[in-house]
Amino acid sequence: MNKYIVAVSGGIDSVVMLDILARQKDYELIVAHFDHGIRDDSHLDAEFVEGLAKKYGLKFESKREELGQKASEELARDRRYKFLREIAGKYSAKIVTAHHIDDVVETIAINLLRGTGWRGLAVLDSDITRPLTDKTKSDLIEYAKINNLSWREDSTNLGDKYLRNQVRKKLAKLNDDFKFQLLGLWAEQKALKNKINEEVSNLIGDGPGYSRYFLTHVGDKVAVELLRHITSAKLTRPQIIKLLHAIKTIAAGKTYSAGGVKVSFTSRNFTVELLK
């Protein structure tokens, strides 16, 4: 039987997802809720989700952290996923989130605004299961109304503090046909990403030692992709570019360290160590 950690915030998206999954008897579900402590009333969300778990007869796991009202969207997301992965490890289960088509479109738009590389278009591509990416927000609202579901509204979604909220308002006028076209392009980009990852792995080998001469002469764009693979994507793009410069210029016996990665150099080669 498949075992899933169902990430439920209490909002309409995750409430709908939980109801859909709970109706399928071949899953073992554990409801997980993370309270960021950003809103004064966020404890009410936790109580609501705990009530949902009891309603469906499911196990419930929760955690609260006091991130405060000034917490960034990135910090809140990182802490939430850290919690979800801890619970997934506890139960040897996969994580399930309620991302839908609108979320995919918003994330692509945000990455484009931030000047992403091509990988920023292959978003939401990980070991996390996302069963609603063929549904629009309007689909979920309709499902919730038909099935008389209740949910909690997060007041932070109404303001413009977070970039995602700003983008969401601008994308609200997109019609569903256009969203589905973007969904198709997203799927193609993810498939391309997987092929590139395979080619990179075949080209660079398993390490931990690599040729400075080779990285210097393959061209900077290719070298950046290879270094991203070599460093297990621990470095930002600017850090990778600095590392490439070091590979080209740094003296033997020197080291380069950044983002949990330590690189040691000889005259011909460099060795990568991923720090914990």
| In a domain? residue 103 | yes
The predicted pLDDT at position 162 comes to 61
Under the banding of pLDDT at 50, 70 and 90, the label for residue 276 is low
Q: Are residues 168 and 211 in the same domain?
A: no
The predicted pLDDT at position 1 comes to 67
| In a domain? residue 188 | no
The predicted pLDDT at position 214 comes to 92
The predicted pLDDT at position 60 comes to 97
**Residues 114-117: contacts with CB under 8 Å, at least 24 apart:** 117/237
Q: Which of 7-11, 36-40, 98-102, 131-135 has the lowest mean pLDDT?
A: 36-40
| In a domain? residue 96 | yes
Under the banding of pLDDT at 50, 70 and 90, the label for residue 21 is very high
CB 250 within 8 A of CB 264: no
| In a domain? residue 197 | no
CB 33 within 8 A of CB 87: no
Q: Are residues 141 and 15 in the same domain?
A: yes
| In a domain? residue 85 | yes
Buried b (16+ CB within 10 A) or exposed e, 229-239: bbbeebbeeeb
Q: In Å, what is the CA distance from 149 to each residue of 2, 13, 22, 146, 268?
A: 25, 11, 13, 8, 64
| In a domain? residue 233 | yes
Q: Distance (Å, rounded) from C-alpha 231 to C-alpha 213?
A: 18
Q: Are residues 33 and 163 in the same domain?
A: yes
| In a domain? residue 199 | no
Q: In Å, what is the CA distance from 260 to each residue of 89, 168, 263, 264?
A: 23, 34, 10, 13
| In a domain? residue 66 | yes
Q: Which of 32-36, 76-80, 96-100, 246-250 has the lowest mean pLDDT?
A: 76-80
The predicted pLDDT at position 267 comes to 93
The residue among 98, 103, 100, 95 whose CA lies nearest residue 126 is 95
Q: Distance (Å, rounded) from C-alpha 140 to C-alpha 179?
A: 15
Q: Distance (Å, rounded) from C-alpha 265 to C-alpha 105?
A: 42
Tell me the three state secondary structure of residue 40: coil
CATH number at residue 264: 3.30.465
Q: Are residues 136 and 24 in the same domain?
A: yes
CB 63 within 8 A of CB 76: no
Mean pLDDT of the chain: 86
The predicted pLDDT at position 198 comes to 84
Q: Distance (Å, rounded) from C-alpha 114 to C-alpha 60?
A: 37
- Confidence check: pLDDT of 254 > 90: yes
- Confidence check: pLDDT of 158 > 60: no
The predicted pLDDT at position 10 comes to 94
Give the range of the structural domain holding residue 270, as residue numbers without chain letter.
Answer: 205-274
Give the rounded percent of residues in the chain with a pLDDT score beyond 70: 90
Q: Which residue has the higher pLDDT, 204 or 29?
A: 29
Regarding pTM above 0.75, the answer is no
Q: Are residues 267 and 170 in the same domain?
A: no
Q: In Å, what is the CA distance from 211 to each residue of 132, 200, 214, 235?
A: 44, 15, 5, 19
Q: Are residues 33 and 130 in the same domain?
A: yes
- Confidence check: pLDDT of 45 > 80: yes
- Confidence check: pLDDT of 160 > 60: no
Under the banding of pLDDT at 50, 70 and 90, the label for residue 197 is confident
**Number of structural domains, the chain?**
2
